[in-house]
Each structure stands twice: as structure tokens, then as C-alpha cells.
Structure 1
Amino acid sequence: MKPPFQAAVLAALVSLSSASMAIEYQAPEALVAPSAFKGVHGLAVDQQGRLLAGSVVGSSIYQVDIDSGEVSTLIGPDQGQADDIAIGPNGEMAWTGFQTGKLMMRDNDNAPIREVASGLPGINSLDFNDETGQLYASQVFLGDALWEIDPTGKQAPRLIAKDLGGFNGFEVGSDGWLYGPLWFKGEVVRINPADGTVETVATGFGTPAAANFDSQGNLYAIDTLKGLLKRIDLASGETTNIAQLSSSLDNLAIDSQDRIFVSNMADNSIQQVDPTTGKVRMITSGELAVPAGMALSEDGNALYIADIFAFRKVDTATGEVTDLRRAHGSDIEYPSSVGLSAQRLLLTSLATNTLQVINRNDHTTLQLLHGLQAPSGAVELDNGDIVVSEMASGKLLRLSGPKLDQQSVLTEGLQGPVQMIRGRDGNLYLTEMAGFLTRVDPASGKLERLVKDLQLPEGLSETADGKFVIAEGAAHRLLLVDPANGDKTVLASDLPIGLPPGPVLPPTGIPTGVAVAADGRIFFGSDIDNGLYRLTPK
């Protein structure tokens, strides 16, 4: 498949072997096709019949053509960040900025966007009472509360209830109560917005994520852990499985024709489900969600990708994608980088400040450590210790012991470490946001800045002869850098990399992953269109 961009690949001759054999690269090709979203979350169908979808990482609200699957941006960064979307009785639209803690609203497509609430981190789901115009919103993950929001923004939010257990994608019922899931309790409940009374509607869910009514008053709910769409009998609380989908479900919406639409954050997908037959139709999807850091197997056949909403392996010959973990269908925690050793896979998450150590053979979790300061990379040393780079503190931490609970500072003073690898010489090499390629001795912690004036360097991989391929996010290109003399050669430019950070991302945006095989093939992920690309020597 040809990439959906015009890549100007320079005809530079690059020395990639000890014999200085000149290699010229073909234009980048998409090994895994791009997709429309960067994780897709809240869904809504407005009074015009438009299917709308929100993305937190993408900081956008999209319009999706139900028939063709074509996706266009309705509201882009930075105001478009939407974990959920709700349509009011007069056609107004409101949405939640999960990381910004803001609730935004506009009265119609031509009206200005206004902020009607702020200071609510983790603001998640919302809905209008179509009879009264009252607006309600919940906090989940970064908070745990339910609020009534003044649509004019003049009055402070009114607290209805707190410590509920994660009142996620909810909807106002015909009785004025709010019906939705308690994410952390495995229940669907209803809440009286007048006094916060909570009553259980149904139990037995793995992780319920959202609930919605159709025009006949039937209540449907999704189980993100089990990948199920269910119908709930309000009288008895019994549930009926309507469709078996994949895990990582996020939200659902039901239109005036009682068509059900379900979003999946790990697949960048929206599916339509017939509630009568259970038949599923894919409207739009992607094989990757938000590709970030990556690591290549020793034989060059498998590429491990930290895909934010999943952890995946890609066959470098065919592009076949295999899921190893999916968000909310496993214990994965939004991985943004991956390190590779002989026996272990090392995932770090900028979002949850975690290091997850996975057995490479059976993919079981060996360790899951929290409390790091924006860990951006991890590598394993010869003795089994793990070094973690912290973007927030500028430190390299050395973790030792059977439980990796013995922590010491290897070096500090780094200026925004992004990606870190272990070189063929045993040293640690990393990119810094300040524009450096840096080497650190893992024994002494000695720090040397080998190359400077790089333009937001991110992904990093070593070639067979000890040079480095670096993704320059700000310049949208790949460089070959010689650490011995600092020489830089542009390999490819005008690439779909370099997503601006926006309101929820670190200064690097989504760190662009890079990997180089022994035969000279270069792989990189796109933080713009979510595809995986390959550069092949001519």
C-alpha cells in the first residue's frame, strides 16, 4: 500500500556497513495501514443524524459517515478533546476533556465554543435531560464523583454524589434517573440526581463501560473486559448477550432508528450492531491504535509495539498484527515504550507512571511497578537490573532485587529523556528533548552528549555498524547520525511524524518509535496517521 502522504526521500548515499557500502532507500511503504483515530471513545448521534466520535489523545471530535466509514474532523485540537459527547434538547453539543478537566459546549455548528466547567480532572461521561435541559457529568479514574453542570457556565457545578466506584458512560432515563455502569464494581446502577440515591440495576459484568436506552426503553450496556454488548431487563436485572465483540470497548450510542454503534479504543474502530439479530458491521477500524515506542526481535522478524491502548507484535515481512495485550481487557497500562531483553519485555507508560515487566516466552506479567515519574524507556543490564529513564525528573534509575524494589540514581540532569536503548557496546544511548543524542556508562553513570542541535529527537535505533537512526519529530524526518563525529545524514523527510503535544501529551507528543534491522530495513510508526511504515534499501 502506498503511504497517504508525499514523502520526499532524499537520494543520500548512506554508509551502513563497515565496508562503507552505499545504500539508497526506496520511498516509505505502509506495512500496517493508517487509521482515522488515536483511540476512539465517546459516541453520539446528533439531531442531524450525524455520528460523532471523540478522542482524548487525538484531542478531536470526528464526524463518521455511517455508510462509507469516511471520517472527517469536526472540532480539532485543542478544544476538541472528548472522552464523551452529549446532544442537548435544542441540538446543543457538550463534551468532556478528560485530562484538561473541562466541560466544553456549543449551541450549534456556527456558535462559539464555550467552557462551562473546569477543575474536574478525569471528567468522563455526560448527558442531558431532554425534558428539563439539565446537564450531568461524572469523573472517573482521576476522580470519582457525579455533578450537575450549569449549561450556561454561570453557576458552579453541584456535587450529587462521590466515591461511587467509577460512574462511566451513563444516560438519563425517562424517569429522570441516571443509568450507567460502575466501572470498578461490575454493576449497572441508576442514580437519583436529586439526592444521589444509588440503586443496582444489574450485576455480573467484568468491567461495564457504558449504558444507553433505545427508543423503546430497552437498556443496553457494554462490558469492556469481556467484549460483550448486553441488553438489560430493568424489571428483573437479567442480562442477555446481544453480540460478542473484542475487549477494549469504550462507549455506545443508539440513533432514532435504534441502530447501535460501539467504539473500541484498541482497534480505532466503530461497529454497528443490529440489536435483533446481533449482526455486526464494521464501519471503520485500524490494526494499530496509537503506535509509539518499538523494539525489533534479534532475527528482525517481529516488531514489538507499545500501542498506547494495546501491546502488539507485527510480522515485519507480512505486516500481520498480533495482539499481546489490550487496554481494559488485560492488565496493560497504556504503554508508550518497549524494551527487549533475552527473556523479558519492558513496557513503560507515561500516562500511568508504570513499568511492566513481561515474560517474553509466555507473556505473563512478572512485575508491575507504579510511582515512577513519567518513565519514557527501560533497558535491562547484564545482571538483570533494569534502568528506567524518567522524563519528568531527568534521571536514570537503576532498579535491582528480585522485586525490582531497590532503587538508586544512575545519573541525573537529563533534559527530557525520550527514548533509550542499550548499544552494541553495552552503553546506554538516549535522545533528549533538548536536542541531544546522549551516551551513559551503565557502570559509572558517566554522561556524554555526543550530538546536539537535533530537532526534538525521539525514536532511536542502532545500525549494524554502530551509527544511529533518529526520528526528528519537529523536522518530520529520519536522520542517520554518526556518534564518532556527529555527522548527520537525512534518510527521509516530509514524514507523517511529529504530532504536536496538545493539552494532554508530553512535549514530544506521542514518541515516534524507530527500529533498524540488520539488513538495513528501517521501521517507524506514525503519530499522525497511526500507520507503521518501512524503508527498504534499494
Structure 2
Amino acid sequence: MSGTRLTRPNPLPGSNGVAFGPDGRLYVAQFLAGRISAVDLGSGDVEIVVPEGGPVQSPDDLAFGADGSMYITDLVPGRVWRRDPGGEFQLVTEELRLPNGITCVGDRLFVNEMRPGGRVVELTGGTVRVLADGLAMGNAMQLGPDGCLYYPHMLTGQVFRVPLDGGAPELVAEEVHEPVAVRFDRGGVLHVLSRGAAGIVTRIDGSGDRSLLTSGVVGLDNAAFDAENRMFVSSYASGGLAELHPDGRIRQVVEPGFGGPYGVTVDLGGRVHAGDHYRLASPDPSGGVRTDELLIFTHGVVADGELLHLTSQYGQVSTYDPATGESRLRANGLARPMGIAVRADGALVVAEADAGRVVAIDSADEVSVLAEGLDHPVDVALDPSDRVYFSDDHRGGVFRIEDGDAVPIATELGAPQGLAVRGDEVFTVETTHGRLRAISLSTGESRIEATDLAVAPPPAEPRALFADGMPGAPIPFAGLAVGPDGAVYLAAEGIVRFQV
């Protein structure tokens, strides 16, 4: 059977650094997707130029040298790469910690580090020359009309500049709203992008006068100006690419969308909620995606009355109240918690993938182990009797927990991930085969409900979860949920609804 797609696929999941290439296209680094794409600004066509699975793991920013080479900061492994015009890669350095902002000035290459105590450096022939240190998390930077490098301090709301050949850094602006990138237009006006929910851009002219532009682009990340002084902006939160006009109007060149897939849930009112790494999001009636709240590192999600319970693959489980915007931390330090469900007594049941455990978190936030010694539990679900089921995408099965033991319900499946119970059946997504399977809980018989789903099996070698304390890219997982009307919802390049 075919499903109804509630949201459009996202051609640019997680758009970060942007730079114009020699061919006139705008190149986009995609940290979450682990790839680099090129966008034709006239047609909006997107071509993947550097696919995932190659030497570059987590591209965050890029720049082009005078000879047409692309230089890339690979954030979490701490590497800087050169991709020559022929498409071959050379490692420039791996001596930096969390390199992010990058720019070329003629044949010279400059990079900064996104960490407390970071540096601005010049890379020459494999050597590192420090221009400035003590950065409070650097990010996208650019040469100014005065010949100095301008860069943000993300943690302190400041912008600094430093001469290319060294000297004391100088404070340019402070009390700037959540600065993430600095860019100059063709007239020399400094634009400082905010990473917050309102999409604020602070303009600072040569006299230091400021004006604010509220774009509405959630989670601005970077910008580039073309020869006609048109400004194009990226969003780490929703992806896509937009032209931002001086009066605040937006023209979407590439429509935004989900960055996942991750977890999905449906509340009692029938509203769909998805965990989308940097935010909670939901489908809108036009087939697009609405950002409900910037909630950094949200992956698993389950509705519980008026509340939402969330997991972050970086170790946290929390409860979020959409009415008040308040979050309560329920557990910390877990080993990649992913799927989550709620028992009748209010306890949270969580798949702790990297620990090979399924755990419960009670109302007092005490963590207890329901089963351990598992391979890689990804999602959990409960039947009407509150029995716990989990999917294991490494072991290829769906299991029920009985007295701490994993009892197989279905085996020899293709990397099952998302899990949801409806009546006497449990549904799961076989990511290896791209299909939705229903399994009878009483007989074990199963059937295929849908095929050719836009899901992918887990990576053979997941990217590093942490480096220098900085979270790396999470593992995508295809979440499943059952709505109040009995429909099954799948997170797969957006949200798909199946009336099974």
C-alpha cells in the first residue's frame, strides 16, 4: 500500500556553510547529512557534490581558493580538507580542535575553532600560524574591507577583528544577538547572523550604526552575497536555502524540511510532533514543516497528554511542556538513548542503544534496568498490557521483555528501527529493505504493509558521537507512531501517514 506524504522531502537537510563556487553555483556544507551540495540559484536544482561516506565526515563550512579548490572544515574529527578542481581530496591539517569558520584570501587559508579558548589560524604548507586565541566559540568569518578578519564569539555575543599578519584582536561589536556568522555585503556593510528562532540579522555600517532585520528563518547559520549583492542564507535547523531581501522578505530557493528522520509521535488531538535534532517540528497544511520550538538535540519523542517526553542521543531524557516552554531533565549520562514510550503508571521506557539496555525512568527520575546485554536496541513500544517491546537493528529482530529476558517476536528482519503497537499487532520499519511490516503479537505471523520507503539502514561505521566535548552527528532512525485514529506515521525524509 502507499502512504500519504504529509511533508515534502528536504533536498538540503541541515544547511550550514555556503560559498559561491567557480561555476557560479552556491555550495552548501551539510553537517547533519555529512555531505556537500551545489545549488543552481535560478532553478533551485540541488546536486550532491561530496556524498556522505567519504573522507569528509561532518562538513560545517567551506571556502574556495584562487585556483578553484574547495577547502572544507570537518568539525568533529578536527580536520581541514582540500578538494582540488579534479575532485581529489588532500588532508590540509588535523592539528585543530573543532575547526569551523574558514575563508580564503587569495592563496591564503584561514580557519577558526568553535570551542571555548579557540583560535584563529592561518594554514600554510601544513604549518599552523596563530593570529588570535581565546575565542569564545568561533564560527563563520570573513575578510573585511579594511583588510582584517572578522569573526564572532558565539558564547559572548561579540564580534572581533584581527589583522591578517597578526596583531591584537579588536572588539568590533558587543551585545549582538546570538552571533553565528559575519558577512560583508558588496557595499562593505557588516551583517551578523543570529542562530536563534527569530532569524535576526544585525547590520553594522562603517560608522558603527546598527539596524536589525528579523527574517523569520529559524536557526540562521551562514550567508553569501552574489555579484548583484543578493543575500542568500542557510539554516542549520530546517535546511533549505533562502534569498533574504533588505526589507525582510524571503524567497525560498530550496524549500526547508526535516533534517531527520528521527522520532515521531501523535498526540490525542491528532497533531504530529517530530524530533528533528535541533528542534521540535510538525507538518503544516501546505506540505512544509513548522518549527514548534528550538530544542537542541531532540531525537526520540512521545506524547503523554499535554506533555512531550524527549530523548537526546547525547545522553539526556527530558519532559517538555509545550504550554509553558519549560523542560525538566529526567535522566542524564545515558549511552545514546533513542526510542521512548510511556507506561500506564507514567514511567518512561527508553532504548539505550549504545549500552545495549532498555531502561525505565520513574516519576522520581530513578533509572532502573528492564533488560541488558542487548545488541543495539533502537525503539520501544508497549502493548495494551504494558508489556515492553524493542527493535534491534543490529540483531535484526523485534523482541518482548519478559522477566529481564529478550524473547524474540520476529527475527531475520532487515535492520528494524521504528516500532509501534496497535491492538494485537506491532509495526516496524525494516530499513535495509525499505518496508513497513506488521507482526501479530499472538501468532507471530507477519505481512508487508508498504515497500519502497525512503529510509536507509544504519551506517556501517557511525560518525563519532563526541569530540572535544562537541556533539557529532547523530544516527538517523526511522521513527514510527500510531495516531488516535489508528493511522501509522513514519519519519522518513519527512512524515508519511499510512491508513493501515
Gaps of 5+ in 1: 1-24, 327-331
Q: Which residue of 2 aligns with 1:37?
A: 12
1:49 aligned onto 2:7 = no
**Quick check: 2:203–2:211 contact (8 Å CA) kept in 1?**
yes
State which of 200, 203, 208 in structure 2 corresponds to 1:231: 203
Match for 2:40: what amino acid? D
State which of 353, 364, 376 in structure 2 corresponds to 1:391: 353
**Quick check: 1:341–1:379 contact (8 Å CA) kept in 2?**
no
Alignment of 1:401-416 (within 5 A): 402=364, 404=365, 406-416=366-376
**Quick check: 1:387–1:396 contact (8 Å CA) kept in 2?**
yes
Secondary structure of the structure 2 residue equivalent to 1:220? strand
Q: Which residue of 2 aligns with 1:13?
A: none
Query: Are the structure 2 counterparts of residues 401 and 194 from structure 1 closer, same or farther at C-alpha, using a change threshold of 3 Å?
Result: farther
State which of 443, 457, 461 in structure 1 corresponds to 2:416: 457
**Quick check: 2:76–2:464 contact (8 Å CA) kept in 1?**
no
Q: Which residue of 1 aligns with 2:258?
A: 288
Mean Cα displacement is larger for which, 488-497 or 366-375? 366-375
Q: Which residue of 1 aligns with 2:119?
A: 146
Deviation at 1:67, TM superposition (A): 1.8
**Quick check: 1:103–1:117 contact (8 Å CA) kept in 2?**
yes
Query: Are the structure 2 counterparts of residues 297 and 245 from structure 1 closer, same or farther at C-alpha, using a change threshold of 3 Å?
Result: closer
**Quick check: 2:231–2:245 contact (8 Å CA) kept in 1?**
yes
Alignment of 1:102-113 (within 5 A): 102-108=79-85, 110-113=86-89
Alignment of 1:182-221 (within 5 A): 182-192=153-163, 194-195=165-166, 197-221=168-192
Q: Which residue of 2 aligns with 1:11?
A: none
Deviation at 1:234, TM superposition (A): 4.3
Q: Which residue of 2 aligns with 1:435?
A: 396
Query: Are the structure 2 counterparts of residues 521 and 185 from structure 1 closer, same or farther at C-alpha, using a change threshold of 3 Å?
Result: same
Secondary structure of the structure 2 residue equivalent to 1:392? helix
Deviation at 1:319, TM superposition (A): 5.6
Q: Which residue of 2 aligns with 1:246?
A: 217
Deviation at 1:344, TM superposition (A): 2.7
Q: Which residue of 1 aligns with 2:228?
A: 257
Give the whole-Å Cα distance in 2 for the aligned partners of 1:254 and 1:45. 9
Runs of 4+ in structure 1 over 6 Å off? 505-508
**Quick check: 1:463–1:518 contact (8 Å CA) kept in 2?**
no
TM-score relative to the length of structure 1: 0.83
Alignment of 1:94-133 (within 5 A): 94-108=71-85, 110-118=86-94, 120=96, 122-130=98-106, 133=107
Give the whole-Å Cα distance in 2 for the aligned partners of 1:523 and 1:480. 13
**Quick check: 1:66–1:283 contact (8 Å CA) kept in 2?**
yes
Deviation at 1:211, TM superposition (A): 0.5
Q: Which residue of 1 aligns with 2:276?
A: 307
Mean Cα displacement is larger for which, 306-315 or 474-483? 306-315
1:347 aligned onto 2:303 = no
**Quick check: 2:331–2:367 contact (8 Å CA) kept in 1?**
no
Give the whole-Å Cα distance in 2 for the aligned partners of 1:476 and 1:203. 50
Q: Which residue of 1 aligns with 2:329?
A: 367
- Residues 46-67 of structure 1, C-alpha deviations (whole Å, 9 max, x = no match): 2332211110121211111112
Gaps of 5+ in 2: 466-472
Query: Are the structure 2 counterparts of residues 107 and 489 from structure 1 closer, same or farther at C-alpha, using a change threshold of 3 Å?
Result: same
Mean Cα displacement is larger for which, 164-173 or 286-295? 286-295
- Residues 188-237 of structure 1, C-alpha deviations (whole Å, 9 max, x = no match): 1113455573322112223111011223322111112241122113443x
Q: Which residue of 2 aligns with 1:9?
A: none
- Residues 127-163 of structure 1, C-alpha deviations (whole Å, 9 max, x = no match): 1122xx221222225x6522535365xx243444444
**Quick check: 2:153–2:179 contact (8 Å CA) kept in 1?**
yes
Deviation at 1:508, TM superposition (A): 9.4
**Quick check: 2:13–2:258 contact (8 Å CA) kept in 1?**
no
State which of 478, 487, 492 in structure 1 corresponds to 2:450: 492
Deviation at 1:278, TM superposition (A): 4.3
State which of 358, 373, 379 in structure 1 corresponds to 2:341: 379
Give the whole-Å Cα distance in 1 for the aligned partners of 2:407 and 2:458. 28
Deviation at 1:102, TM superposition (A): 2.1
Deviation at 1:418, TM superposition (A): 0.6
Match for 1:240: what amino acid? S
Secondary structure of the structure 2 residue equivalent to 1:409? strand
Give the whole-Å Cα distance in 1 for the aligned partners of 2:363 and 2:499. 42
**Quick check: 1:209–1:251 contact (8 Å CA) kept in 2?**
yes
Q: Which residue of 2 aligns with 1:329?
A: none
Query: Are the structure 2 counterparts of residues 408 and 279 from structure 1 closer, same or farther at C-alpha, using a change threshold of 3 Å?
Result: closer
Give the whole-Å Cα distance in 2 for the aligned partners of 1:265 and 1:49. 23
Secondary structure of the structure 1 residue equivalent to 2:60? coil
Q: Which residue of 1 aligns with 2:469?
A: none
Match for 2:266: what amino acid? L
Q: Which residue of 2 aligns with 1:268?
A: 239
Taking only the aligned residue pairs, the percentage that are identical comes to 25
- Residues 502-536 of structure 1, C-alpha deviations (whole Å, 9 max, x = no match): 7538899410012234655322122xxx2322223
Query: Are the structure 2 counterparts of residues 103 and 318 from structure 1 closer, same or farther at C-alpha, using a change threshold of 3 Å?
Result: closer
Query: Are the structure 2 counterparts of residues 174 and 413 from structure 1 closer, same or farther at C-alpha, using a change threshold of 3 Å?
Result: same
Give the whole-Å Cα distance in 2 for the aligned partners of 1:175 and 1:156. 26
Give the whole-Å Cα distance in 2 for the aligned partners of 1:149 and 1:487. 63
Deviation at 1:325, TM superposition (A): 1.1
Give the whole-Å Cα distance in 2 for the aligned partners of 1:398 and 1:536. 31
Q: Which residue of 1 aligns with 2:63?
A: 86
Deviation at 1:176, TM superposition (A): 4.2
Aligned residues: 488
State which of 270, 291, 304 in structure 2 corresponds to 1:323: 291
Secondary structure of the structure 2 residue equivalent to 1:157? strand
- Say what the alpha-carbon RMSD is for the aligned residues: 2.7
Query: Are the structure 2 counterparts of residues 253 and 360 from structure 1 closer, same or farther at C-alpha, using a change threshold of 3 Å?
Result: closer
Deviation at 1:40, TM superposition (A): 0.8
